[in-house]
Amino acid sequence: MSLVDTLTRALGADAVLTGGDMAPWTRDWTGQYRWTPLCVARPADRDGVAAVLSAAHQAGVAVVPVGGNTGLSGGTMAEGAVMLSLDRMNTVREIRPEARLAVVEAGVILSNLHEAAADHGLSFPMTFGARGSCTLGGILATNAGGSNVLRHGNTRDLVLGVEVVLADGRVIDLMSELHKDNTGLNLRHLMIGSEGVLGVITAAVVKLVPAPRAYATAMVAVASLDQALVLLNRLQEATGGQVEAFEYMPRRFVEEYGKLHPETRPPFDQGHDVNLLIELGATAPRDVDPDPDGQVPVARYLEDVLAGMLEDGAVLDAVVARSEAQRRAFWARREAAAEVSTSRPVVLTDVAVPLDKVSEFLLRAEARLAALDPQAVPMVVAHLGDGNVHCSVWIGVDAAGRNQIMEAVEEEALALGGSFSAEHGIGISKRPAMARFKDPVALEIMRGIKAVMDPKGILNPGKVIP
């Protein structure tokens, strides 16, 4: 009996796809990576996942887990492999408002989790442009970041427990609901961010926070990135740490977004080099209940800080959202980063540098890029509040030149104490950087862990670890 037959018997004919039915699972979101899987297995529960992995382990056939397939690093390339889609495991099993946690299956789409939490006045504070299609399993597998890391941390900071199926079909039940558990090595954190090379996360216990009852959102132009950090720190002090997002969009990005969406208005009457999207979120009545003059206090905090810096000349212009529609328009611009960046041939990068080094990094990177490719056009956006810079580059070079451009950006980040991967994961595209830059002892330990947990090397082979 073939492996496909074995999987069909275990899961049912409708849950194992072959031929043309596999089309949605034969390329990544960018279109850069394309493949033909052996089949696509779509189990409905953890036991089904275990059955797939057990059968593949016995047959020695590769298995590549996939969620919403919205990654940007080639992490789901699966030539000749069993693609293990968790899209049918899409239940929010439980919301526990008193404990502020949710028990969620890996195939749950992020926006659906947002809606389920919102019904209880709570929020799962992880958000980015792909929230309508990305799944919790993919978020955990890549230790995703997004726009709210500044206030709430990345994925590892938001997860209490996980359930994982290993390469041979065994299950590790780490579905803890505890905030403190000092019983040995933290296997939960080992699994989060492992991109499916150590096991397949099938469910998780995640933290929830009170949903903001009021937002203050603004587009702000400042004189420099250094002044942007001054503004961030003043806002944090004035609000007691209520800054939810602090996003950077340079002039070029704003202009290119306007070309793609001519129906929209630019943020300001006059163009500026440094444009920020700032959002504060408040839950306490003292920050939410309107003043006698009708103004919401959290909005006043924002406007007072902006007014002071306008007088100093550090803030050049500012527009505060006066409606939810205007707020959404501000966010639509920032969340179109992937659309704008990939509208031309591009090298996608995802680096992190210390907050006070972002300006220096961009100057150094642009100088390196101009020397490598006179046609190179940096298309930058950044989660400025946490130092994560997406220095994507429109190019006019061949494949070798693409590699040189990526290396140049990564090298400049590392020279300033940064990282070559901030939130997109390693996948295939950043595996060369792992070989060049990662500590060799760390790589040796990673290979040892992989060998213990996946001795036949069937889980997402060729990814992450060089």
Q: Are strands 63-66 and 82-85 parallel, antiparallel or unpaired?
A: parallel
Q: How confident is the model at residue 72 (pLDDT cuts 50, 70, 90)?
A: confident
Mean pLDDT of the chain: 96
Report, as an integer, the average pLDDT of 413-439: 96
Contact 172, 199 (CB under 8 A): yes
pLDDT tens per residue across span 317-326: 999 999 999 9
- pLDDT score of 323: 94
Q: How many residues does the chain have?
A: 466
Distance CA 16, CA 82 (A): 10
For residue range 16-53, what is the model confidence (pLDDT) as tens digits? 999 999 999 999 988 889 999 999 999 999 999 999 99
Q: What does the pLDDT read at residue 396?
A: 81
**pTM, 2 dp:** 0.93
CA distance 195 to 369: 30
Q: Set out the domains of the chain in order of their start, with CATH numbers.
A: 3-85 (3.30.43.10), 92-210 (3.30.465.10), 214-337 (3.30.70.2190), 344-421 (3.30.70.2740)
Query: Would you put residue 388 in left (φ > 0), alpha (ψ -120 to 50) or beta?
Result: beta
Alpha-carbon span 408 to 386, nearest angstrom: 22
- Tell me the pLDDT band of 399, cut-offs 50, 70 and 90: low
Q: What is the pLDDT of residue 326?
A: 96
Segment 320-342 mean pLDDT: 95
pLDDT confidence of 400, banded at 50, 70, 90?
Answer: confident
pLDDT tens track for 84-100: 999 999 999 999 999 99
- Over range 270-282, report the average pLDDT: 97
Q: Are strands 243-250 and 346-347 parallel, antiparallel or unpaired?
A: unpaired
Percent of the chain with pLDDT over 90: 94
pLDDT for 134 beyond 90: yes
Q: How far apart are CA 64 and CA 71, in angstroms?
A: 13
